[in-house]
């Protein structure tokens, strides 16, 4: 009788069996594996599996298992308004900041900075970064100098996404006020 050749279990299946509870779901069929990298060096794999269950209620379940870091950490909020490079002479210096929602986020952190006109160094404005629950934040900027803002998303367990890119704005004095 010929011997049956066995293939060793790939390294990425072992964590899946542990996470899924092995026998409880029946057979696990891997349908896709995607690598991802995190900004700053981390990363891992997103493994999508289909279960071939022991009964009709378990068969065909599609599950996604994250082997490595949470892909939410790679998300980056997309800023909507105001546009980058806005120059305004409005007074009071009010801005309504808006961004698109990030799937899985329960809150966002907004950071606002101002630029020292002499040294050109950026400084985080007092009370920021600030946590907000929605996808907008209204602020009144303190002076007539350049400013910038960015946002990150947070899940309920405090997992944080990447910061968005900076958006810059400048408030100037009206010509009649000079």
Q: What is the pLDDT of residues 93-118, one digit of tens each?
A: 899 999 999 999 999 999 999 999 89
Model-wide pTM > 0.75: no
Of 50-59, 68-77, 92-101, 168-177, the one with minimum mean pLDDT is 50-59
Domains of the chain and CATH, by start: 13-72 (no CATH), 79-177 (2.60.40.10)
What's the CA gap between 115 and 20, in Å, rounded? 51
Give the tokens for residue 98.
């808006």
Question: For residue 19, which of 60, 57, 41, 51 has the smallest C-alpha distance?
Answer: 51
Find out whether 168 and 136 touch, Cβ atoms under 8 Å: no
Q: What is the CA radius of gyration of the chain?
A: 25
């Amino acid at each position: 009788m010929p011997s049956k050749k066995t293939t060793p279990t790939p390294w990425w299946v072992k964590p899946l069996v542990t996470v899924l509870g092995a026998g409880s779901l029946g057979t696990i069929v891997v349908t896709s594996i995607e690598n991802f990298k995190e900004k700053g060096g981390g990363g891992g794999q997103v493994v999508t599996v289909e279960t071939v269950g022991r009964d009709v209620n378990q068969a065909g379940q599609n599950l996604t298992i994250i082997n490595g870091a949470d892909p939410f950490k790679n998300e980056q909020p997309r800023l909507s308004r105001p546009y980058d490079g806005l120059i305004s002479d409005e007074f009071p210096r009010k801005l309504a900041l808006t961004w698109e929602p990030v799937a899985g986020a329960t809150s966002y952190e907004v950071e606002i900075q101002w630029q020292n006109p002499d040294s050109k160094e950026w400084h985080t404005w007092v009370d920021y970064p600030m946590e907000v629950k929605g996808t907008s934040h209204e602020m009144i900027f303190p002076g007539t100098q350049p400013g910038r803002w960015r946002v990150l998303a947070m899940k309920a367990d405090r997992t944080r996404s990447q910061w968005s890119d900076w958006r810059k704005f400048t408030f100037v004095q009206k010509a009649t006020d000079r």
